[in-house]
Structure 1
Amino acid sequence: MRCLPLFLFALAAPAFAVLPDVQDGDLVFHTSRSTQSLAVQRGTGSKYSHMGMVFLKHGQPYVLEAVSTVRYTPLAQWAARGSNGHLEVKRLADGLSPAQATRLRTEAERYLGKPYDLTFEWSDQRIYCSELVWKSYERALGIRIGETQRLRDFRLDDPVVAAKLRERYGQAMPLDETVISPVAMFESGKLRSVR
C-alpha cells in the first residue's frame, strides 16, 4: 500500500492538521485499537498501550515502531491508529545532540524488519514496541528509560489479561521473563512532556 504524503494525510484527517513539533528520538505513546490493547492497559495500569520513536526522514516525522514487523510509519498515520487520534510526546529532559540522535537511529534501524514479539521475550529475535525503544536507547547511548520488570509484576489476575496470557502461553507462562512496558517508560523521570 502506498503511503500518502504527510500533508495530504493531515488534510484528510482534520484531527491531525496540527501535528506536534517533534525531534529525532522523541517517544510517542497512544492507546492502540489492537486486540491486545485492553490487556496491556489492564495488566500495566496504563491508558497507553503502544509506543514508538520519532525520526525525521526527508524533513517529515516518522515513527519507528514494532507492529507486525519493525517499520517506519508516518507520524500522522501512526496517530490515526490510536484511540481518538490522541498521542503523547515525550523527550529526554536534556534532549539529544546531533551525534546522539545519529547513534540512536543507527542502533534502532538494526531492528528494521524484525517480527513483532507476541510473547514479550527479552531476546532480539522478535521485538515488541517498548522493547525496541528501550534497547535502542540503552545500547546506543547507555540510557535506560524506565525500569524493567518481570512478567509476574503485572496484574495477571485481571480476567482480560489472564485470557490473553492463556492465548499466548497456554499454561506455561514465563513469569520471570524480563519485560519493559510503555507505562514504565512514559513515567520515567528522564523524560519531559512535549505534548
Structure 2
Amino acid sequence: MAAHIEKSDLEALPVLSYQALRPQIRSGDLLFTSGDYLVSKAIQTMTGSAWSHVGIVFHIEAIDRILLLESVEDMGVRFAPLSKYLKNYENGKPYKGRVAIARCDDITPDMVRTLSVFGVDELTRPYDTDEIANVLARITLGKGKRKRDREYICSELVYECFAHAGKEFRYNRKGFISPQDIWLDDRLSLLGRIL
C-alpha cells in the first residue's frame, strides 16, 4: 500500500460481500484485521496503526476452501477457514472489527508454493508471547534487538513465510515487524474490505 491508513479511513471503505470477493481471492493474498478486542487495541496503540493482525490466505481449489494461515495467541500457528472470521469467530459471532484482503502484486506461483510449504511446516509452532514484551521494550525504552526463532507473532509468521519465498517485507526502524509494516509495502494493493 505504501500509505498509512487511519481507523476512520478503514471504517469509511465500503464493505464488500465475501461471496462477491471470494472468486478473486488467490493463494498468497493477505488478510488484515483491525479488531475491537482489548489485545487488538493494545497492538494498534503500540504500533500507531489501524491494523492489529495479519495472515496469509490460501485458496485450496481441490476442496473449494479458502484458509488462513495465521499465528494467534491461544494456539500458535494454525490454518482456519477464512469464513470463520465472518460467521463464527467467537461464540457464534463474527470477528469484532474490520477485515480487509490485500494482494502482493509481485508474487509468482512458485513463490506461493514455497511460502505455503514453509507455512505448513510451521503449523503448531507456538505464539511468541515474549516478543510482545520485547516489542513494547523496543518502543518505550529503545532497547532490544530482533531475534529470529520459530515462535511467531502474526506478522513474524507472514514475514518468515514470504522471506523463504524470496520476498522480504521491511522491518521498522525499532527492530520489529507489525501488520502495519507489511501493509506499507509498496507492492501491496487492496482487494477489498469484507467486514
The alignment's TM-score, normalised by the length of structure 1, stands at 0.69
Find out whether 1:55 has 2:80 as its counterpart: no
CA distance in 2, matches of 1:112, 1:34: 25
1:106 to 109, 117, 124: 117
1:184 to 178, 181, 188: 181
CA distance in 1, matches of 2:110, 2:103: 16
In structure 1, the partner of 2:69 is: 64
Consecutive unaligned residues of structure 1, counting only runs of 5 or more, are 1-14, 154-177
RMSD, aligned CA: 2.1
Consecutive unaligned residues of structure 2, counting only runs of 5 or more, are 1-16, 90-94, 135-146
Equivalent AA in structure 1 for residue 68 of structure 2: V
In structure 1, the partner of 2:140 is: none
1:83 to 92, 96, 99: 96
2:105 to 71, 93, 113: 93
Larger relative contact order (Cα-Cα within 8 Å, sequence gap ≥ 6) = 2
Give 3-state SS (helix, strand or coil) of 1:37's partner: helix
Give the drift of 1:56: 1.9
Q: Please list, as runs of the form range in 1=range in 2, the aligned pairs for 1:102-141 lying within 5 A after superposition.
A: 102-120=113-131, 122-141=147-166
CA distance in 2, matches of 1:133, 1:115: 14
Equivalent AA in structure 1 for residue 46 of structure 2: G
Give 3-state SS (helix, strand or coil) of 1:36's partner: helix
In structure 2, the partner of 1:156 is: none
Give the drift of 1:118: 1.5
What is the number of equivalent residue pairs in this alignment?
151
Cα deviations by residue, 1:110-134 (Å, 9 ceiling, x for unpaired): 2100111112263323111000001
The share of aligned pairs that are identical, in percent, is 28
Cα deviations by residue, 1:68-94 (Å, 9 ceiling, x for unpaired): 21000101113454334x311111123
The alignment's TM-score, normalised by the length of structure 2, stands at 0.69
